[in-house]
Amino acid sequence: MSGIILYFNTAIALAVPILMVSIGVCYQEKTGVYGMGSDSSMLLSCFTSIVTLIATGNYFVAIVVGILSGGLMSLFFSIFAVRLGTDQTLTGLACNFAVMGLTSSLLRLLWGVDGIPMMEKPASVPIPLLSKIPIVGEILFDQPIVNYLVYIIIPISWWILYRSTVGLKVRAVGENLECADSVGINILKTRTLACMVAGMCCGFGGAILAVQQVGTFADEMTGSKAWMGIIAAYFGGWSPIGATGAAMVFGLAMALEKRIQLMSFISLNSYTVQLFPYIAAILVICLTGKNRRHPANMMHYYQKQ
Amino acid sequence: MSIKGTSKDKKNVIETIFRFSPVIGAVIGLLAAALFVMLYNVDPITFIGALCKGALGSAKAIGNSLNRATPYIIVGAATTIAFKCGSMNMGQEGQVFMGGLGVAVVALILPSGTPALIAIPLALIGGMIMGAIFISLPIFLRVKRGVNEVVVTLIMNYMATLIVSALVVGPLGKVGASYPCTENFGEQYSLFNWKSVGHLHVGIFIAIAVAILAIYMFWVNPIGLKARAAGSSPAASLTAGINPTKVFIIGMLVNGAFCGLAGGVELLGRYNNLRGGYADGIGWDSLIVALLSGMNPKGVIPAGIFFGALFTGVSSLQRSIGVPSALLSLIKGIIIVCVVTGTAIEKYHLNRWLTKKKTVK
Amino acid sequence: MDNEYMVEMRHITKTFGKLVANNDVSLKIKKGEIHALLGENGAGKSTLMNVLYGLYGKDKGTVLWNGQEINIKSPDEAIKLGIGMIHQHFMLVNKFSVLENVTLGIKEGKWIEIPTDEIRKKIMELSDTYGLNIKPDAIVENLTVGEQQRVEIVKALYRHSELLIMDEPTAVLTPQEAKQLFKVLYKLKNEGKSIIFISHKLPEVLEICDAISIMRDGCLVEEMENTEDLDEAKLANAMVGRELNLEVVKSKCEPGEVVLKLEGISCDGINASCGVTDFSLELYRGEIVGLAGVDGNGQTDLSELIMGLRKMTTGKIEFLGQDISKMTTKQRRELSLGYIPADRLKSAMIPSMSLTMNMCINKPDQAPFGTKWALNQKSITEYTERKMKEFNVVAKSSGEVGGNLSGGNQQKLVLARELGEKVDLVIAVYPTRGLDIDATHFVFDTMLKARDEGAAVLYISTELEEILQLSDRIGVLYEGRLQGIMPQQEAEVTKIGLMMAGREVEVK
Amino acid sequence: GCGEKKDAATGNSASSGASSASSGASSASSDASSASSGASSSSSGSSSSADKKDMSDIKVAFILPGEYNDGSFNQKGYDAMLYCQENLGVEATYVDRIDTSLQSETLYDYAEQDYDIIVSWGAQMEDDVVDTLAEEFPDTQFVIASGTKANETNVVNIQISGKHLGYGYGYMSAMKSKANKVAFIGAGQGSQAYTDEVGGFIDGAKAYNEDCEVTIMYLNSFNDIDECAQAAEFCAEQGCDVMFADVSGAYKGLFDVVTKSEGKILTFGRNADHTKEYPEGCLSYIENDWGIKMADVITNYAENGKWGENVFCGFGSIVSGWTYNFDGEPGWNPALVSEEEVADFQKNVIDMIANGGWDPTFTTEDANPGTY
Ligand SMILES: Nc1ncnc2c1ncn2[C@@H]1O[C@H](COP(=O)(O)OP(=O)(O)OP(=O)(O)O)[C@@H](O)[C@H]1O
Ligand SMILES: Nc1ncnc2c1ncn2[C@@H]1O[C@H](COP(=O)(O)OP(=O)(O)OP(=O)(O)O)[C@@H](O)[C@H]1O
Ligand SMILES: [Mg+2]
Ligand SMILES: [Mg+2]
């Protein structure tokens, strides 16, 4: 029984940063701005949140700083990609490179060869009654406090995107820029804001990863997590609920990979086993990802005549 | 409707200058990077000097730069092809890796006495086939199931590195290797190279040939016209009797095959065995090259050489003036942002700014 | 000064790069009037309206709103002032429902949940009051163009605009729908609102407008009151600046051999279309067969079926005695035929490519465009320029991209491509949609010329007038079936009208 | 000249390297260093004395594949560079983060410049070095740290015996495991050194207790702390109570898990003295002084000129690869490892292997992930 709980807990832990990125990507890509640069927001936030944590010792402040720096990074991205109309993919990739270099050189500047210290990670907080529910309760409601925040962000994001007027604007911008402009939606503002919200989500994901899960900063510590987030958004159809499902699939598959390694009867080398989550992801996409169409104005730049 | 007479000298000068906006962007990017490097007590002039010297300062540097440009040009050209055919392949990285695998499989199967003139082409064809096979899954899923190829190719990038590693550690692996790799292929598989020119290998000619082929196919041959039509407007091309799905499939396959070729050339040009991680980052950098070229095969050679030189120059900095390696990707990022900004300004804003100035006067 | 004018545009100049689209235009709209804005394709009407609406920035000039000088920088501000606009190219989000499209950009309820029920009720109210027949929950991409046009109207009405700009609202409406719209306009006018009405259909302009402004080449050339002694010819002449002959001169029809034979062909519909059911027709050399019908009754399906763009479920198609049912579009393109599809921006032109490339797209590997191995750029350019002259295509150069041409010129380019060489069969679907009188007549002339040169012409249109003028035989399409076919001499408007509505009418 | 040096060294340090681990009396490495430098000076006569170089004239380049401050293997290289610079006065420089794709370029660049000694850190580059560079640049001295290959003329390889290392860890793990379940967390399967280490680990654990369950698990990356922590949690959930991770930066993840267990899970420090941070559960850490090793190589080069040799470091070898230290001192964690256990280890691992009692060959399949 504890095995199952651990398995799901690991899956959730793996999924949460991916999920936050993918929710961010939902906002951003719904307005037709490619989320290639998510990694930059996430990585920068990992760095700033840990630095803040070391400086202040306060988790809350650390996470807030992480979120803000993610948003700032995205703002920087949007100045180029949204305002000036630079190629979104290239700008995103360039931001990723830049932040990779920036964080690791700052890391050296600040801590040098001694390396950054390892910080203690906050314990999980069981929710009084709910966590008593067997299995489900133990899996879902005995989590670090930030994860509960993520639980709330998912439905709120869905509601914002699909039920609120703001969401309607966001989606309209992604579908038909001219139409959006003609009904009085400020495209620049909408896109820039969506990018910033996306950056803040990625920043939150990064802060969770650094402060809650790892407890320190390592070069390129986000690994492929931001990419996974982008993929999850795609195949969740840019809906926060869909993206949650996709991120959970990734989390479960990645957690399963370690289980498979433990099974002695399949003697495969580690690389073969590590292929498993990706195969699973592709299988799931085959089954569910049919005819996902990205927003019609993806990567289109809008310039007022 | 009337056309305003083209006017004035000054405006034209500015416009001509901005034709070279990518170059200007690159220069500004270098200056920005130089300012940043000052944080590390490196003099900006030394920095730029060292960067240029490392990229183009000697025969060896030029050789290194061209070697690095080789896969960029091949993959870049292939990517522009696929893009013009209406597909968004993001799986270059994986396809390049698989190309190396194809080369290795052929090289390990062929009898060891095969002469180079037969062995190398066969091996490279093996690479191309492998690249094409690897890209077939996203094609199939897109055509038959409507699954977006961006997602699948992205995921398959991760799979490719793992597949190569798994095979190199497993069935193809050399026993007792100090790092995961296959047996050596044999001398005959090494691409001819000039030692004195930084081991510049003949791959660069293959690359230029591929780029020229792409230019020919796209701007001269009628097939290219049809493909471009299908890529930019599927409905209209259907009416004109072109099958956009077929174009998509062929474009993707060509992309996969040429990525495989690039992987093969890289492998045979630099190494004599297949090893995990041998092509790390090439696919991504090539995608950048393709994008920098404006997804136009014509721009791929200069963009590829620029990026190859940038990469070589930047990675020589640590050796020459001790700039920490961590800064290198920052410098790369700054320069790319500046180049794309230059392009965007030329494309969208320049005219407007110029005319605005005028009306103010 | 009393604010007699609701809006005054003064000395507006607007350029696109080197092209001057509006040159020192001044336009005055009174309160409570329906003001027509006329002009040839590309005269700058839409541009001027887009400037007024804030969608385009202006280079020079001022706008007065109720006597007050204002600077409208974005549609947002225009909407706040009470300006509504129905755009020539629909401004609708295809993936959204009608309700969402109407809600879009409405200020009430920022950050809050969309008051869906309330809005639905209001839409239904509007729909009932003005007789628009709107389904609030339908997805826009599943609607016919006529329905989409009505959604645009509801969108504008919903905002209670003081000034309503309507850029060719009747281009895709049936006569009945147009009548309905005019009622709406009168009602609005009586409520004291002003309307700017752009149209190429002069009779309706004469019918409903109080004042008329005419643009030519980016300049406002004439302003007039709509008085008794105005007629179509006068308007048309003012628009083009020279005498126009609006008569269609037609020689006698002498049908020859069968060119196209359709035997009971059918296909399934997609989205909003109804498909084609058991359609049989023979087309002879030297005749024009007009197919009338309300939009959405299988016109597009039929043409696409003939071109092999749709899967044929039953039937047989013969071209000059050869069975082409199994042929691909590519193979059919090798035959001597010309095809003018319904949606020119989407299906006929590649907006991002140059005119030369658009010209050779059908057969790039054949003379004079090139060989299997290479395009002959020089001869393509030469050919394109020759045809452009022949077909009167106005563009900066043959290297201009297709998307930058005005609608009329795009259509002419398509005509030049499809009918530039002698062909045996012409299939034209709505070829005059959105064209000005001059261009429309040019299309007529081209069709007649093709006919006289021995081609069989299948002319599909929703404009009964055109069909009656042009055709030798007239058929009616209803729900994908051929409701009946008759020689032009026997065609009566009432009879065809009944058939178009689905009534079975005795045809001799 | 090299042959003599080797012979001389054998007599001097064979026992000290093996025994220091148990006795804790003195550092084996420093012994070895003094031994070899002593040996070199004594044997200098036989080699051409004209070769003798001034330390300050010698230029050394270290090529590190990973981050210079990864707190692990690459940092050892950086430290070794600093050590040589300070203690020998040579002109030393380094480059880090040299990916596979940059290796040959970097190696050639240094070889063509007038560097005397080029140190390639890790086995990744050794084929390039041994097969091509060494022949092309016969006047340059190449050194491979922790590789498997050398040549006779100008490539020195310091080969740390992964096999011995792994066996030792495995044996001690099995000895300390109450649940009879131990785990090894690794990354980058495939190199012979790694295969040997894993194979040795399994063999060592089984040698202590045939029924001991050994779990082998691999991470996707050497640096993913989070992943390492998750792997450790899985192993803990399986019941493993002694775990060892040989991954560069990611070991921090394992440490996080074992620290939380408050002494229930035991582990070993790797490359850094974790016994200080976690005395309640850290059995020892390995002191592998690359600085001294590199200093020896450079000194010998200065005295005798270039040479090629595979310097094997393991139990019973001429030069010991490492010592087991606790809290800065040689020896095991006294609170966790009793005198008898240390003696057992000395007898059944160090002495047994030194006497040639165990020398299998492992293939990659032997190191596959799974439970053994
Ligand atoms: N966005 C644009 N960029 C460049 N040129 C444009 C743009 N929009 C319009 N034009 C050009 O400006 C001129 C006026 O176009 P406009 O759309 O105002 O004509 P119009 O009078 O509305 O014609 P139509 O009756 O065909 O709608 C045309 O020559 C057109 O090609
Ligand atoms: N960050 C890394 N990137 C790539 N390869 C690495 C990295 N860290 C270690 N390796 C490889 O793994 C091998 C074993 O590394 P390990 O950390 O066990 O060092 P070692 O040889 O045992 O030396 P030491 O005993 O000083 O730690 C090295 O030879 C190196 O090739
Ligand atoms: Mg118009
Ligand atoms: Mg080791």
**B14 or D155, higher pLDDT:** D155
Evaluate whether residue C247 is within a structural domain: no
Judged by CB atoms closer than 8 Å, whether chains meet at A10 and D372 is answered as: no
Mean pLDDT computed over D210-217: 90
Do residues C204 and C277 both lie within one domain?
no
Do residues C416 and C461 both lie within one domain?
no
Q: Phi, psi (5° rounding) for residue C429?
A: -115, 125
Question: Quick one: which atom of ligand 1 is closest to the CA of C22?
Answer: 14
Q: What is the pLDDT of residue A264?
A: 67
Where does a domain end: C420, C446, C475?
Answer: C420
Q: How far apart, in Å, are the Cα atoms of D281 and each of B154, B348, D179, D266? A: 42, 64, 15, 5
Sorting pLDDT into bands at 50, 70 and 90, what band is A280?
A: confident
Chain segment B194-232, per-residue pLDDT in tens: 888 888 999 999 999 999 999 998 888 889 899 999 988
In total, how many domains does chain C have?
3
Q: How far apart, in Å, are the Cα atoms of A169 and each of A178, A187, A229, C109? A: 12, 9, 23, 12
> What is the pTM (predicted TM-score) of this model?
0.88
Mean pLDDT computed over C133-142: 87
pLDDT over threshold 50, residue D11: no
Closest residue to C394, CB basis, from B1, B221, B237: B1
C73 in contact with chain A, both atoms CB, cutoff 8 A: no
* Contact (CB, 8 A) for B189 and B123: yes
On average, the pLDDT of chain A sits at 88
Q: What share of chain B is helix, strand, coil (3-state, %, to 5)?
A: 75, 5, 20
Q: What is the pLDDT of residue D38?
A: 36
Q: How far apart, in Å, are the Cα atoms of C220 and each of B79, C43, C423? A: 50, 9, 41
pLDDT over threshold 80, residue D270: no
Where does a domain end: C367, C391, C420?
Answer: C420
Do residues C87 and C71 both lie within one domain?
yes
Kindly give the distance from the C-alpha atom of residue B296 to the centroid of ligand 4, in angstroms, as a whole number.
48
Question: Quick one: which atom of ligand 2 is closest to the CA of D76?
Answer: 26
Kindly give the distance from the C-alpha atom of residue C22 to the centroid of ligand 1, in angstroms, as a whole number.
10
Q: Is D206 helix (H, G, I), strand (E, B) or coil?
A: helix
Which residue, chain included where needed, has tokens 């999850």?
A: A232
Alpha helix ranges (H) inside D44-122: 73-88, 100-112
pLDDT over threshold 80, residue C469: yes
Distance CA C366, CA D40 (A): 83
Highest mean pLDDT among A16-20, C154-158, D157-161, D340-344: A16-20
* Probe target for ligand 1 pocket from C19, C20, C49, with the most ligand atoms within 8 Å of CB: C19
Two tokens, residue D359: 């020398």
Q: What is the pLDDT of residue D363?
A: 86
Chain segment D80-133, per-residue pLDDT in tens: 999 999 998 899 999 988 888 888 888 888 888 888 999 999 888 888 888 888
Lining residues, ligand 2, CB within 6 Å? D 65-66, 70, 72-74, 76, 122-124, 146, 160, 193, 222, 246, 248, 271, 288, 290
- Percent of chain D at pLDDT above 90? 15
Sorting pLDDT into bands at 50, 70 and 90, what band is B179?
A: confident
Q: What is the pLDDT of residue B251?
A: 93
* Contact (CB, 8 A) for B26 and B339: yes
Q: What is the pLDDT of residue C457?
A: 94
Distance CA C506, CA C488 (A): 15
Evaluate whether residue C115 is within a structural domain: yes
Kindly give the distance from the C-alpha atom of residue C406 to the centroid of ligand 1, in angstroms, as a whole number.
5
Give D144's contacts (C-beta < 8 A, 6+ positions apart).
D119, D120, D123, D125, D126, D129, D130, D150, D155, D156, D157, D158
Question: What DSSP state is assigned to residue D117?
Answer: E
Chains that touch C (3 or more CB pairs under 8 A): A, B
Q: What is the pLDDT of residue D18?
A: 33
For the CA atoms of D38, D40, D43, D48, what is the dihedral angle to 10 degrees?
-150
Distance CA B91, CA A285 (A): 16
Mean pLDDT computed over B304-326: 86
pLDDT over threshold 50, residue C237: yes
Distance CA B237, CA B223 (A): 12
Chain segment D344-367, per-residue pLDDT in tens: 888 888 888 888 888 888 888 888
Mean pLDDT computed over C442-465: 91
Q: How far apart, in Å, are the Cα atoms of B216 and each of B213, B223, C367, C368, C374? A: 5, 10, 19, 19, 8
Chains D and C touch (3+ CB pairs under 8 A): no
pLDDT over threshold 50, residue D26: no
Q: What is the pLDDT of residue A117?
A: 83
Give B1's contacts (C-beta < 8 A, 6+ positions apart).
C19, C20, C21, C42, C43, C44, C217, C218, C394, C406
Q: Which residues of D163-198 are buried (b: 16+ CB within 10 A; e: fewer)?
A: bbbbbbbbbbbbbbbeebbbbbbbbbbbbbbbbbbb
Give D311's contacts (C-beta < 8 A, 6+ positions apart).
D150, D156, D157, D158, D159, D293, D318, D319
Q: What is the pLDDT of residue C107?
A: 63
Rg of chain B (C-alpha set) = 22
- Residue extents of the structural domains in chain B: 1-42+323-361, 62-320
- Percent of chain A at pLDDT above 70? 98
Mean pLDDT computed over A218-243: 88
Do residues C180 and C196 both lie within one domain?
yes
Peptide bond into D138 cis (omega under 30): no
Give the residue from D102, D114, D223 with the most B CB atoms within 10 Å of its CB, the best one to mutate. D102
Nearest-5° Cα angle at B159, B158 to B162: 95
Residue D140's CB: how many other CB atoms inside 10 A? 22
Q: What is the pLDDT of residue B34?
A: 86
Do residues C236 and C384 both lie within one domain?
no
B277 Cα to chain D: minimum distance (Å): 7
* CA A67 to chain centroid: 11
Mean pLDDT computed over A218-222: 85
Mean pLDDT computed over C441-470: 91
Chain B 127-186, residues with CB within 8 Å of chain A CB atoms:
137, 141, 145-148, 150-152, 154-156, 158-159, 162-163, 165-166, 169-170
Q: Which of C198-212, C293-307, D39-53 has the lowest mean pLDDT?
A: D39-53
Which residue, chain included where needed, has tokens 């165990």?
A: D358
Question: Quick one: which atom of ligand 1 is closest to the CA of C50?
Answer: 18
Closest residue to C105, CB basis, from A175, A178, A185: A185
Evaluate whether residue C277 is within a structural domain: yes
Distance CA C500, CA C498 (A): 5
Question: What DSSP state is assigned to residue C354?
Answer: B
- Nearest ligand to the CA of C406 is 1
Judged by CB atoms closer than 8 Å, whether chains meet at A227 and B148 is answered as: no
Residue C59: CATH number of its domain: 3.40.50.300
Sorting pLDDT into bands at 50, 70 and 90, what band is C108?
A: low
Do residues C122 and C264 both lie within one domain?
no
Element housing C103 (H / E): helix C98-103
Distance CA D69, CA A37 (A): 27
Two tokens, residue A221: 């510590």
Evaluate whether residue C142 is within a structural domain: yes
- Nearest ligand to the CA of C52 is 1
Instruction: Please choose, from the candidates D67, D63, D346, D339, the residue with its C-alpha nearest in 3D space to the C-alpha of residue D222.
Output: D67
* Contact (CB, 8 A) for D73 and D248: yes
pLDDT over threshold 60, residue B267: yes
pLDDT over threshold 60, residue D34: no
Distance CA C359, CA C57 (A): 33
Q: What is the pLDDT of residue D35?
A: 37
Question: Quick one: which atom of ligand 1 is closest to the CA of C215?
Answer: 21
Closest residue to A231, CB basis, from B141, B155, B288: B155
Instruction: Please choose, from the candidates A282, A274, A227, the residue with its C-alpha nearest in 3D space to the C-alpha of residue A254.
Output: A274
On average, the pLDDT of chain C sits at 87
Sorting pLDDT into bands at 50, 70 and 90, what band is D25?
A: very low
* Contact (CB, 8 A) for C207 and C175: no
B65 Cα to chain D: minimum distance (Å): 10
Is the beta carbon of C265 within 6 A of some atom in ligand 1? Answer: no
Do residues C371 and C400 both lie within one domain?
yes
Closest residue to B236, CB basis, from C21, C330, C346: C346
Give the residue from A124, A252, A258 with the most D CB atoms within 10 Å of its CB, the best one to mutate. A258
Do residues C236 and C265 both lie within one domain?
no
Two tokens, residue C441: 């007549």
Sorting pLDDT into bands at 50, 70 and 90, what band is B358?
A: low
B4 in contact with chain C, both atoms CB, cutoff 8 A: yes
pLDDT over threshold 90, residue B330: no
Q: Which of C330-344, C466-480, D67-81 has the lowest mean pLDDT?
A: D67-81
Evaluate whether residue C508 is within a structural domain: no
Sort C208 into a burial class: Cβ within 10 Å, 0-12 / 13-18 / 19+.
Answer: buried
pLDDT over threshold 70, residue D14: no
Q: What is the pLDDT of residue D271?
A: 67
Chains that touch A (3 or more CB pairs under 8 A): B, C, D
Kindly give the distance from the C-alpha atom of residue B343 to the centroid of ligand 1, in angstroms, as a whole number.
27
Evaluate whether residue C341 is within a structural domain: no
Judged by CB atoms closer than 8 Å, whether chains meet at B147 and A99 is answered as: no
Which overall architecture, per CATH, does domain B62-320 show? Orthogonal Bundle (1.10)
Q: What is the pLDDT of residue D24?
A: 31
Q: What is the pLDDT of residue A291?
A: 66
Q: What is the pLDDT of residue D7?
A: 31
Q: What is the pLDDT of residue C383?
A: 93
Sorting pLDDT into bands at 50, 70 and 90, what band is A1?
A: low
Do residues C49 and C121 both lie within one domain?
yes
- Nearest ligand to the CA of C21 is 1
Give the residue from chain A lying closest to D82, CA to CA: A113
Q: What is the pLDDT of residue A302?
A: 85
On average, the pLDDT of chain B sits at 87
Evaluate whether residue C248 is within a structural domain: no
Mean pLDDT computed over A15-39: 93
Q: What is the pLDDT of residue D15?
A: 31
Do residues C320 and C416 both lie within one domain?
no
Mean pLDDT computed over B104-113: 90
Chain segment A29-88, per-residue pLDDT in tens: 999 999 989 999 999 999 999 999 999 989 999 999 999 999 999 999 999 999 998 989
Residue C136's CB: how many other CB atoms inside 10 A? 20
Sorting pLDDT into bands at 50, 70 and 90, what band is C506?
A: low
Q: Is C385 helix (H, G, I), strand (E, B) or coil?
A: helix
Distance CA A40, CA A220 (A): 10
Q: What is the pLDDT of residue C503?
A: 78
Which residues of D fall within a CB distance of 8 Å from B173? 190, 364
Sorting pLDDT into bands at 50, 70 and 90, what band is A208?
A: very high
Q: Is D214 helix (H, G, I), strand (E, B) or coil?
A: strand
Is the beta carbon of C432 within 6 A of some atom in ligand 1? Answer: no
Chain segment D303-314, per-residue pLDDT in tens: 888 888 888 888
Give B253's contacts (C-beta < 8 A, 6+ positions apart).
B132, B135, B136, B139
* Probe target for ligand 2 pocket from D73, D99, D220, with the most ligand atoms within 8 Å of CB: D73
Mean pLDDT computed over D138-145: 90
Mean pLDDT computed over D319-328: 79
Evaluate whether residue C272 is within a structural domain: yes
* Contact (CB, 8 A) for C47 and C54: no
Closest residue to A258, CB basis, from D221, D230, D249: D230
Q: What is the pLDDT of residue A51?
A: 94
C91 in contact with chain A, both atoms CB, cutoff 8 A: yes
Distance CA B294, CA B83 (A): 11
pLDDT over threshold 70, residue B7: no
Where does a domain end: C206, C240, C274?
Answer: C240
Do residues C112 and C224 both lie within one domain?
yes
Sheet of C34-39, strand order = C83-86, C163-167, C194-198, C34-39, C211-216, C219-225
Instruction: Please choose, from the candidates D239, B271, B64, the residue with its C-alpha nearest in 3D space to the C-alpha of residue A3.
Output: D239
Do residues C21 and C64 both lie within one domain?
yes
Mean pLDDT computed over B74-96: 92
pLDDT over threshold 50, residue D253: yes
Backbone φ/ψ region at C34: left (φ over 0), alpha (ψ -120 to 50), beta: beta
Give the residue from chain B lying closest to C406, CA to CA: B1
* Contact (CB, 8 A) for C83 and A182: no
- Nearest ligand to the CA of D248 is 2
* Longest alpha-carbon distance in chain B: 78
* Probe target for ligand 1 pocket from C18, C47, C409, C443, with the most ligand atoms within 8 Å of CB: C47
Sorting pLDDT into bands at 50, 70 and 90, what band is D45?
A: very low
C76 in contact with chain A, both atoms CB, cutoff 8 A: yes
C54 Cα to chain A: minimum distance (Å): 8
Is the beta carbon of C402 within 6 A of some atom in ligand 1? Answer: no
* CA B167 to chain centroid: 26
D104 Cα to chain B: minimum distance (Å): 8
Sorting pLDDT into bands at 50, 70 and 90, what band is B342?
A: confident
Distance CA A199, CA A28 (A): 9
Sorting pLDDT into bands at 50, 70 and 90, what band is D199?
A: very high
pLDDT over threshold 70, residue B357: no
Question: What DSSP state is assigned to residue B39?
Answer: G
* Contact (CB, 8 A) for C198 and C166: yes
* Contact (CB, 8 A) for D58 and D90: yes
Distance CA A92, CA C463 (A): 51
Give the residue from chain A lying closest to B166, CA to CA: A271
Which residues span the domain enclosing C231? 5-240
Q: What is the pLDDT of residue D37?
A: 39
Question: What DSSP state is assigned to residue C143?
Answer: S
Distance CA B271, CA B107 (A): 13
